[in-house]
Amino acid sequence: MLKRLINTFLVSLIFFSTGIAQEPQLFSRKDFDLRGPVKNCLVITSYGQEEFEFNPQGLLTKSITRFSEKDYSITYYKYQDSLLLEQRNENYMQGQLDETTSIAHFYTRDTTSNRITERIYSYQKEFLDQYEYIYNEENRLIRIIRSNEEGVDETEITYIAENDENTVTYTINGVIQKSIKTTVKNKETPEEQELVLTREYLGGVPNRAIEVVRDNEGFIRSSKEFFFDAEKEEFKLRQRKDFEYDAEGNPSKETILLGRAKSSKAYIHQLDGSEFRNWIKQIVTPDNTYKTRRITYFESEEKTKER
């Protein structure tokens, strides 16, 4: 777990808990904190195994999550150049494909209207959803139109820039769902920080919030989770986490404040012997848990020619 994995978790916490539609995302080695021309990464965890495969350009082409030998899920990604064309999510139970829970996403891009259309089907060839992602001239996502048998939902995304603050607001069918305010402090100095405050709403009413602070190198230094006190009509702190990193950019310490209780975790990393210095074992104390990674790389053209 590194800065990008921490970042991915925090983003997922907001988007997947609200059900807000998001534009198609491309995943690369960097999203899994992998350096260099990684071809394959097998992660062994307490609940099973995860495996990630990448193409020479560094884009994720396949991911596998194994819960047991016969129970696992596979996601395939198909591209044209750097554009996502297809994503398939297959679930296997007792070694057999479960068509009732497996789905396929197909993407088409219309450059004349500056939009991407996503169509989702079950493996039983049943149409489930269609999303249209519409962008402005600056290639910013400004509208998402979701349509299915139940009707049509429209998400509007607005952008406001003021001084060193930028705010992005999501509304679904006219009701606010989420706002993201990004503030830069101590700009263009060694102490520069970026604060990202995400507020989440239910039925237009404030519900929860997360504030993330990054330093000038992009490392997440702290995160705060807030809940909304309806009686006092204000957000209150639920939990705070502070992160420290070692010279390699790997997290070395995590401090958690929950109410008056304070606890901490230490991370120890063993690196591989490559020039890219990826970690292959992570030990967390005092939990005494660990995670291992087996990494293979694409061979360079020079090494291939030598053979």
Checking if the pLDDT of 15 tops 70, the result is no
Domain count, the chain: 1
Give the containing element (helix H, strand E) for 233: none
The 10s digit of each residue's pLDDT in 230-251 is 999 999 999 999 999 999 999 9
Nearest Cα to 83, choosing from 118, 132, 40?
A: 118
pTM of this prediction?
0.85
CA angle 213, 219, 224 (to 5 degrees): 30
CA–CA distance, 115 with 120 (Å, rounded to integer): 17
Strands 151-162 and 165-172: antiparallel
- Residue 218 belongs to what domain range? 3-306
Task: Check: CB of residue 118 under 8 Å from CB of residue 106.
Answer: yes
User: How many of the other CB atoms lie within 10 Å of CB of 278?
Assistant: 21
Task: Say which range, 175-179, 186-190, 194-198, 301-305, has the weakest mean pLDDT.
Answer: 301-305
Checking if the pLDDT of 55 tops 60, the result is yes
What are the beta bridge partners of residue 255? 242, 264
User: How many of the other CB atoms lie within 10 Å of CB of 107?
Assistant: 19
Q: How many residues does the chain have?
A: 307
Task: Check: CB of residue 178 under 8 Å from CB of residue 164.
Answer: no
Checking if the pLDDT of 304 tops 70, the result is no
Checking if the pLDDT of 52 tops 80, the result is yes
Q: Return mean pLDDT, the chain.
A: 90
The 10s digit of each residue's pLDDT in 18-31 is 455 567 889 999 99
